[in-house]
Structure 1
Amino acid sequence: MKTSFKNLITIFSITLSLFIFFSCSENKDRNSTSSNSIKIERKIDSVLSLLTLEEKVAMTHAQSKFSTKGVGRLGIPEIWMADGPHGVRAEISWDSWDYAGWTNDSITAFPALTCLAASFNPKLAGEYGFSLGEEARYRKKDVLLGPGVNTYRTPMNGRNFEYMGEDPFLASTLVVPYIKNVQKNGVAACVKHYALNNQEKWRDKVNVEVSDRALHEIYLPAFKASVQEAGVWAIMGAYNKFRGQYTTHHKILTTKILKKDWKYDGVVISDWSSAHTTKEAATYGLDLEMGTGTDGLGTTTANHYDQYFLANPFLEAIKKGELSEDLVDKKVRRILRLMYRTNMSKNRPLGNVNTKEHHQVARKVATEGIVLLKNEDNFFPIKDNKNITIAVIGENATRSMTAGGGSSELKPKFEISPLEGIKRRFKNATVIHSMGYETGPSMYDVIMPAKLNQDSLRIAAINTARKADIVLYVGGLNKSHLQDCEGDDRRSYKLPYKQEKFIKELKNVNPNLGMLLLTGNAVDMSFLPNVQGLIQTWYLGSMAGTAIADVVSGDVNPSGKLPFSFPKKLEDNAAHSFGDTSYPGVNFTQHYKEDILVGYRWHDTKNIEPQYAFGFGMSYTNFELSNITSDRKSYSENDKIIIKCDVSNIGDMKGAEVVQVYVGKENSDVKRAVKELKGFMKVYLDKGNKETVSITVDASKLAYYNEKISDWTIEKGDYNIYVGNASNDISKKLKIKIN
């Protein structure tokens, strides 16, 4: 067919017009954002000129447990904050840690962030963040104190359940959509705890010594992504020290890296009581001091908020000329910028709470994050037949897991327990229950005693197991002190309350035994030979029981992948392999001797087989990865590496698989892990179907942090690309070259 010259000109004109239109649209959006920022900065200049020194200083510290002062005469509002990486905390009293006793502060409890990380689903992370942001906005909060992105270094950390696992790439990929979508509601996400707060034991005094390389490659990437990719509006400091200086006001971390190198324009908020001196708080980047709660010297005094380090002591130092007024101006500029983004924004939505949509998001995150770890003889899924009796045994089958845990404790409108969820779903089977053991209520910083007779509970549970066709033991940890709880770390890697012995006793009377493991941490799995099936269920919030029943019944095929390694014994974990010097430290100083070899990097490089590897998770169906290729064999450092792979569902039911791409450097000039996660994609397939997935890796992301030049370096030469569905289950290894 011939095309006339006139037609070619017409086609070219249309194409050019469309190109110009879309280019202009993009430029218009960028220009609009830039123009809006300029207008805000001019408004801030105007407001700053109207504020007295006393008013400016008053804006930089708390006036109550969770709020800061406004300036009434100028119409500048207060700032209100709430704890909440996985739900908006109930209202706290003005000047104590007691709950205020409101009747309208119940919310949706979303799954803890370990579960979100296990979903390997960035889109779902965005839905999670948006729903959570809506609830915070409805509760009239300006700052949501979350998410937490500290690195899973040791399974003993009592707060690991609040974080996103051991891999910096996974955490970075998920935290960005979470933050962006929280902030769409006019609520600031406050990413925490910056930085190196990787244990709760001695958290307020431990001094961390770690190499610059490990700092930049392992412990900072999720914070950096929060700033540079998500545009987070608030960051919370940490309690610990780094190289002898408290991290909340740190010359290197806060002043240089965060505010100078990353060009962060938001506020730095202290953790509650993590500020320590007026001079350092004023000089090294702290903008809002919260929670000091006394005069800063450990004694309670009248008008104690006025005695915060950034209160009267700051004011007096400026008046005496010991500190420059420019320091408070910089802080207030950031605070006002936060306000124009939140409570002084004209385009702020109203929010909502406890909607069906929020409950569905919570349920979906839960079902996608649940991990099937063992399934001998297809123990799971369990069919709902009339002629079977299912014994659900264990205190965790009925215990609230939104209560306790520290500052992330929640007051949900409802919380469906595992037992309740199973009873609702299994309407044909007979479901019976026995506790087996009892513990006291979850309280902060104290272990409450049990009230019931433990021997009687154990005997009753064993008798219940004898009556059943199937036993589901619901065990693990809980949110009590010295377990999965803020304030201190676990004391043992084993399951508490003699559960290992109890599981063996249950098996002796009924070998048809499966287990639901409720934890936010890895545990010793010496009990594993005694259970036919094992599901890691995390802490799932409001919809816990429903989501668990979805997976147990097979209504939903599990697709979660572990976001951290499960070592066979504690000494197999990198941090613990070096003894007390590395964890918890000696004389309140610890050295991260494993350096960059955290989690699976350690297991791979040292050839230490884990109990369960990072990225591992089974399915009720079977998948096959094939035709794995790279688009080229050779790349420059600015190229994109495109990996393609066919994923086939060769089993009997629909499901989802996570294709994982790891990269390792051959013959590196520096110490490297065998491989590191650099890309992943979750693909959903009906039985018998096949799909080709494409995963892009920026060649620039293969760089290591070069301590000699304090910058990133990409080594030339050969690299290995590993494609599989777990860090220890690689389907194919490819070779490429960076020129």
Structure 2
Amino acid sequence: MNKSFSVVLALFFLAQLVSAQSMSNQEMEKKIDEILNQLTLREKVDLCHAQSKFSTAGVARLGIPEIWMSDGPHGVRGEINWNDWGYAGWTNDSITAFPALTALAASFNPELSYEYGFALGEEARYREKDILLGPGVNIYRTPYNGRNFEYMGEDPYLASIMVVPYIKGVQKNGVAACVKHYALNNQEHDRHVIDVKADDRTLHEIYLPAFKAAVQQGGVWSLMGAYNQYNGQFATHNKVLMNDILKGDWNFDGVVVSDWGSTHSTMEAALNGLDIEMGTFTNGLTFSMNFPYHDYNLANPFYEKIKSGEIPESVVNDKARRILRLMLRTNMNPNRPLGRMNNQEHSDVARKVATEGIVLLKNENNFFPLKETKGLTIAVIGENATKPMTIGGGSSELKAKYEISPLAGIQNRFADATILHAMGYSSGPSAYGRVIESPLNQDSLFQNAVETAAKADIVLFVGGLNKNFQQDCEGGDRISYDLPFNQNKLLKAVLEVNSSVGVVLVSGNAVAMPWLKDVNAVMQAWYLGSEAGNAIADVISGDVNPSGKLPFSFPININDNAAHSFGEESYPGVNKTQEYKEGILVGYRWFDTKKIKPQFSFGFGLSYTTFAYSNMQTDKKAYGKDDEVKVSFTLTNTGNVAGAEIAQLYVSDPKSSVMRPVKELKGFDKVMLQPGESKEVSITVPVSSFAYYAVDSKSWVVEPGDFILQVNSSATDNQLKKKIKVN
């Protein structure tokens, strides 16, 4: 039998047998061995680096396909040119834009997270993508981080619970999710050079759990390295992060992809766990072909070092094996579904995520919902009422088939009212990496908004941030905690002429609220994608009862935030180095321990109904370290409308040999109740989750003694409490 025929035969059997569902790991590894034996050294190396902006080479002579990637934690990005970041001008790449991951996290609904991931995976599959570059699970450390809107909040447990079903939903379609940015990429300022100093306990308790869950529970097929350094070595080829933890302790069997421009060394990339290198030397921007793809660190330099014996061939074999394994799960899996795009089901999922993610923060005198609006004049004030939010923001920007603006949603829902609109301010056009001033006259916009507000019965101020540079945008952090573009001044002027004002904040970050006591209501609306306006109108009208809870704390002042409280050495860093001086006290852990009152706490969110908690029980009074604790209680809807409540279980260790936060989230349940209805709710948590990370032994330790279990409606609102003993 000649060699070429044997290859064809091997690939024939591969096509017959390979399937992510039916092929055992042993069979898969055997097939990978067969393919590896047919590859030349050059072909193996060429699997390990980009051939275009968003693809890597296949092996044409063997029928091994290229790998195609796309940005998109919230939707599949429009098609990009081969060698530059310009859009390719396709007419068939407009997609459904899903809400940003802050909104998904605010839903506290893992089942909905699966629906989100599955719908997004279907769209990626239809667009013939093999790797979807998302989700992001970097922890919310500072309200200034330009990419917080892409992530799942400040709590590692919440992020862990929400990321797993998202990954499973995407990968059900034969598309690899790519969890990012691993690790400690918690700011955009100096992201390419900043050296993060975080102690091991902080790393393992706060910044790694969601990645660990993605790998060990979500079975994620790929992972993206981060730009920043960790303890003096770049994260994308950091020995501790990649070799020791990810591929060692966690036994990750997937592919590590560099962020675009995050690779700096052939030797470190080769030996410290990077598998596919994208965008090198250009920060993702190829300015000329003087540095083509074959000069990447894992291209010709890698090939030459293997040939010379400086790097053993086993190194590239491991990378090729991982890449082929990913292919067998995606583009070489004959049972892969075909995908779908822009169907009604996807729009429905986007709208459901949006409505469940909206958080009602204040509702004085039941300002919301707006029930009787016939004959009323409603002034909708603010640029965010009409500004598209699917474009801009950096790599997560989308080419949406449609986007319902807040103004359009309000106009459609309240057709019996007179709707007026005034921008009030103009932020200018979106441009990546720079701020472009608006050509519009700001004074005229301001005055027109005040005059419009004076004519109305009700004012809906739709403000917040946007996707422009130095707002919620990749490549730079915010420069102020205040609302930009004189919105505070505008709100004050509006309140002087109309006291009936509700604020709808469109943002992915907390903002200062010096006007909070003066407005009637505040609604946190996030970036909600294609169905944004419809979802906002659903909640404003009361067609949907808000049930979202904040996935991160809102400080009153920026220096109340833990990272900012320690000065520049902690954020944004000094001399390209920063120290996470707050350690494990991130978010509500900081506010609790330091007894600082937040503006709004983690887990907080109002409803149009009310809930009562009672009768807390545990299945035992004492537990062993391998046991599970079953907590039960009664939850009652004591109001007049149906609604969902998110009950949160926090655990405290009041007497510990190490410093511990006052409490930590360890469980939650979202419960739907009709008016007057009661349900017994059970939340089960393993005693092992009570552990802290012991640095000396590099292990998780549950100390014996008393633990306090709290059932809360938010991090600051305790409803029920019970003590248990751990032996």
TM-score bracket for the superposition, by shorter chain length? over 0.9
Contact kept in structure 1, 2:359 and 2:524, CA below 8 Å: yes
1:657 aligns with 2:629: no
2:298 maps to which residue? 310
1:675 aligns with 2:663: yes
1:417 aligns with 2:434: no
Q: How does 1:69-80 map to 2 (within 5 A)?
A: 69-80=57-68
**Cα distance in 2, alignment partners of residues 530 and 32 from structure 1:** 57
**Cα distance in 1, alignment partners of residues 631 and 313 from structure 2:** 54
Give the Å deviation of 1:383. 1.9
1:82 maps to which residue? 70
**Cα distance in 2, alignment partners of residues 702 and 447 from structure 1:** 46
Contact kept in structure 2, 1:61 and 1:288, CA below 8 Å: yes
1:57 aligns with 2:20: no
Contact kept in structure 1, 2:643 and 2:672, CA below 8 Å: yes
Q: How does 1:393-542 map to 2 (within 5 A)?
A: 393-542=381-530
Letter in 2 for 1:129: G
1:105 maps to which residue? 93
Give the Å deviation of 1:36. 2.0
> For 1:582, which of 559, 562, 570 is the aligned residue?
570
Contact kept in structure 2, 1:631 and 1:642, CA below 8 Å: yes
Instruction: Give the length in aligned residue pairs.
Output: 709
1:269 aligns with 2:246: no
Report the 3-state secondary structure (helix = DSSP H, G, I; strand = E; otherwise coil) of the residue aligned with 2:186.
Answer: coil
2:341 maps to which residue? 353
2:10 maps to which residue? none
**Cα distance in 1, alignment partners of residues 376 and 285 from structure 2:** 64
Change (3 A) 1:668 1:561: same
**Cα distance in 1, alignment partners of residues 417 and 593 from structure 2:** 48
**Cα distance in 1, alignment partners of residues 633 and 360 from structure 2:** 24
2:364 maps to which residue? 376
1:220 maps to which residue? 208
Q: How does 1:39-188 map to 2 (within 5 A)?
A: 39-188=27-176
**Cα distance in 1, alignment partners of residues 118 and 181 from structure 2:** 21
1:13 maps to which residue? none
Give the Å deviation of 1:291. 1.1
Letter in 2 for 1:396: N
1:723 aligns with 2:711: yes
Give the Å deviation of 1:301. 4.1
Give the Å deviation of 1:32. 10
2:677 maps to which residue? 689
Contact kept in structure 1, 2:84 and 2:285, CA below 8 Å: no
1:634 maps to which residue? 622
> For 1:37, which of 15, 22, 25 is the aligned residue?
25
Give the Å deviation of 1:385. 2.6
**Cα distance in 2, alignment partners of residues 297 and 148 from structure 1:** 22
TM-score, normalised relative to structure 1:
0.95
Give the Å deviation of 1:302. 3.7
> For 1:279, which of 267, 281, 286 is the aligned residue?
267
Deviations 1:46-81 (A, max 9, x none): 111111111111110000000000000000000000
Contact kept in structure 2, 1:513 and 1:532, CA below 8 Å: yes
**Cα distance in 2, alignment partners of residues 180 and 538 from structure 1:** 24
**Cα distance in 1, alignment partners of residues 190 and 692 from structure 2:** 31
> For 2:554, which of 563, 566, 580 is the aligned residue?
566
**Cα distance in 2, alignment partners of residues 666 and 384 from structure 1:** 51
Letter in 1 for 2:91: T
Which range moved further: 313-322 or 241-250?
313-322
2:222 maps to which residue? 234
1:552 maps to which residue? 540
**Cα distance in 1, alignment partners of residues 280 and 642 from structure 2:** 53
**Cα distance in 1, alignment partners of residues 204 and 455 from structure 2:** 56
1:608 aligns with 2:596: yes
Give the Å deviation of 1:531. 1.1
Letter in 1 for 2:342: N
Report the 3-state secondary structure (helix = DSSP H, G, I; strand = E; otherwise coil) of the residue aligned with 2:322.
Answer: helix
1:543 aligns with 2:540: no
Letter in 2 for 1:573: N
Report the 3-state secondary structure (helix = DSSP H, G, I; strand = E; otherwise coil) of the residue aligned with 2:645.
Answer: strand
**Cα distance in 2, alignment partners of residues 38 and 480 from structure 1:** 49
**Cα distance in 2, alignment partners of residues 344 and 717 from structure 1:** 53
Unaligned segments of structure 1, at least 5 residues: 1-30
Letter in 2 for 1:433: H
Letter in 1 for 2:437: P
Unaligned segments of structure 2, at least 5 residues: 1-18
Give the Å deviation of 1:442. 1.3
Give the Å deviation of 1:631. 1.3
Contact kept in structure 1, 2:84 and 2:286, CA below 8 Å: no
**Cα distance in 2, alignment partners of residues 433 and 506 from structure 1:** 13
Q: How does 1:610-625 map to 2 (within 5 A)?
A: 610-625=598-613
Report the 3-state secondary structure (helix = DSSP H, G, I; strand = E; otherwise coil) of the residue aligned with 1:89.
Answer: coil
**Cα distance in 2, alignment partners of residues 213 and 700 from structure 1:** 16
Report the 3-state secondary structure (helix = DSSP H, G, I; strand = E; otherwise coil) of the residue aligned with 2:24.
Answer: helix
Change (3 A) 1:97 1:384: farther
Give the Å deviation of 1:303. 6.1
Change (3 A) 1:666 1:238: same
Letter in 2 for 1:215: L
Q: How does 1:696-715 map to 2 (within 5 A)?
A: 696-715=684-703
Q: How does 1:192-203 map to 2 (within 5 A)?
A: 192-203=180-191
**Cα distance in 2, alignment partners of residues 295 and 570 from structure 1:** 31
**Cα distance in 1, alignment partners of residues 37 and 720 from structure 2:** 63
**Cα distance in 2, alignment partners of residues 472 and 295 from structure 1:** 41
Change (3 A) 1:298 1:77: closer
2:243 maps to which residue? 255
Report the 3-state secondary structure (helix = DSSP H, G, I; strand = E; otherwise coil) of the residue aligned with 1:155.
Answer: coil
**Cα distance in 1, alignment partners of residues 241 and 20 from structure 2:** 32
Give the Å deviation of 1:299. 7.9
Report the 3-state secondary structure (helix = DSSP H, G, I; strand = E; otherwise coil) of the residue aligned with 1:447.
Answer: coil
1:344 maps to which residue? 332
Deviations 1:65-120 (A, max 9, x none): 00000000000000000000010000000000000010000000000000000000
**Cα distance in 1, alignment partners of residues 627 and 552 from structure 2:** 30
Letter in 2 for 1:330: D
The sequence identity of aligned pairs, in percent, is 63
**Cα distance in 1, alignment partners of residues 200 and 281 from structure 2:** 34
Letter in 2 for 1:711: S
**Cα distance in 1, alignment partners of residues 516 and 163 from structure 2:** 33
Give the Å deviation of 1:530. 2.4
Deviations 1:465-524 (A, max 9, x none): 111100000000000000100001000000001111110100000001111001100111
Contact kept in structure 2, 1:384 and 1:427, CA below 8 Å: no
1:25 maps to which residue? none
Give the Å deviation of 1:324. 0.9
CA RMSD of aligned residues (A): 1.4
**Cα distance in 2, alignment partners of residues 730 and 575 from structure 1:** 26
> For 2:309, which of 321, 332, 335 is the aligned residue?
321
Report the 3-state secondary structure (helix = DSSP H, G, I; strand = E; otherwise coil) of the residue aligned with 1:50.
Answer: coil
**Cα distance in 1, alignment partners of residues 20 and 409 from structure 2:** 49
Report the 3-state secondary structure (helix = DSSP H, G, I; strand = E; otherwise coil) of the residue aligned with 2:535.
Answer: helix
Contact kept in structure 2, 1:294 and 1:308, CA below 8 Å: no
